[in-house]
A and B are shown apart, each in its own frame.
Chain A
Amino acid sequence: MTVVLDVDWAIAWVRLTAVEVAARRDELVELDRQIGDGDHGENLDRGFRAVVARLDALEEPPTTVGEVLRLVATTVMSTVGGAAGALYGTAYLSASRVTAVPVLDSSGTVGLLEAALDGVVRRGKARVGEKTMVDAWSPAVEAARRAAGRAGLRPAELLVVAAEAAEAGAVATDPLMATKGRASYLGERSRGHRDPGAVSSALIVRAAASAAGVG
Chain B
Amino acid sequence: MSDTGPGRAPDVALVLVTHSATLARGCAEVAEQMAPDVRILAVGGNPDGGIGTDTEAVRAALVQVIAEGLGAVVLTDLGSAVMAAELAVELLAPEAAARVRVVDGPFVEGAVAAAVAAQIGAALDEVAEVARGLAAVAPPPDGPANPPPDGPAVHSAAVTLRNPLGLHARPAAVLARMVAGFDAEVRVNGVNAASMLELMKLGASGGRELTVTATGPAAEQAVGAVVAAISAGFGEA
**Interface readout for B51-90 with A: 1 if CB under 8 Å, 0 if not?**
0111111000000000000000000000110011011001
Contact A93 B57 (CB under 8 A): no
Contact across chains for B55 and A78 when beta carbons are under 8 A apart: yes
Interface SS, A side: helix
Min distance, Cβ B41 to any Cβ of chain A, angstroms: 17
B84 and A86 form a contact (CB under 8 A)? yes
- Contacting residues, chain A, for B57 (C-beta < 8 A): 78
Taken together as a complex, chains A and B put the C-alpha atoms of A90 and B55 apart, in Å, by: 11
Q: Assess whether B87 is in contact with A78, with CB atoms less than 8 Å apart.
A: no
- Residue contact B55 to A85, C-beta cutoff 8 Å: yes
Which residue of A74, A85, A124 contacts B84 across the interface (Cβ within 8 Å)?
A85
For B53, the chain A residues whose CB sits under 8 A away are 81-82, 85-86
Contacts of A82 in B (CB 8 A): 52-53, 80
Asked if B91 CB lies within 8 Å of chain A CBs, one says yes
- Give the size of the chain B interface in residues (CB under 8 angstroms): 16
Q: Does A205 contact B (CB under 8 A)?
A: no
Q: Does B22 contact A (CB under 8 A)?
A: no
Binary contact track A81-102/B, C-beta < 8 Å → 1, others 0? 1110111011001000000000
Q: Are B87 and A89 in contact (CB under 8 A)?
A: yes
How far is A93 from B57 in the complex, measured between Cα atoms in Å?
Answer: 17
Tell me if B152 is interfacial: C-beta within 8 Å of chain A. Answer: no
Which residues of chain B are near A81, meaning CB under 8 Å? 46-47, 52-54
Contact B80 A86 (CB under 8 A): yes
In the bound complex, what is the Cα–Cα distance between A89 and B46 (angstroms)? Answer: 15
CB distance from A8 to the nearest CB of B (A): 27
Which A residues are in CB contact (< 8 Å) with B46? 81
Known contacts A81-B46, A123-B83, A93 near B90 by CB under 8 Å: yes
CA distance A124 to B86 in the complex (A): 10
- The chain B residue with its CB closest to the CB of A82 is B80
What separation, in Å, do the CA atoms of A123 and B52 have in the docked complex?
Answer: 17
Hey, which chain A residues are within 8 Å of B47, CB to CB?
A: 78-79, 81
Interface string of A50-86 (1 = CB under 8 A from B): 0000000000000000000000001001110111011
A-B pairs with the 7 shortest C-beta distances?
A: A86-B83, A81-B52, A78-B56, A83-B80, A77-B55, A81-B46, A82-B80
- Chain A residues with CB under 8 Å of chain B are 74, 77-79, 81-83, 85-87, 89-90, 93, 123-124, 181
Show 18 A/B contacts (Cβ-Cβ < 8 Å), sorted by A. Answer: A74-B91, A77-B56, A77-B87, A78-B47, A78-B56, A78-B57, A81-B47, A81-B52, A82-B80, A83-B79, A83-B80, A85-B80, A89-B87, A90-B90, A93-B90, A93-B91, A123-B87, A181-B79
Known: A77-B84, A81-B53, A86-B87. 15 other contacts (CB 8 A): A74-B56, A74-B91, A77-B56, A78-B54, A81-B52, A82-B52, A83-B83, A85-B52, A85-B53, A85-B84, A86-B84, A89-B87, A93-B90, A123-B86, A124-B83
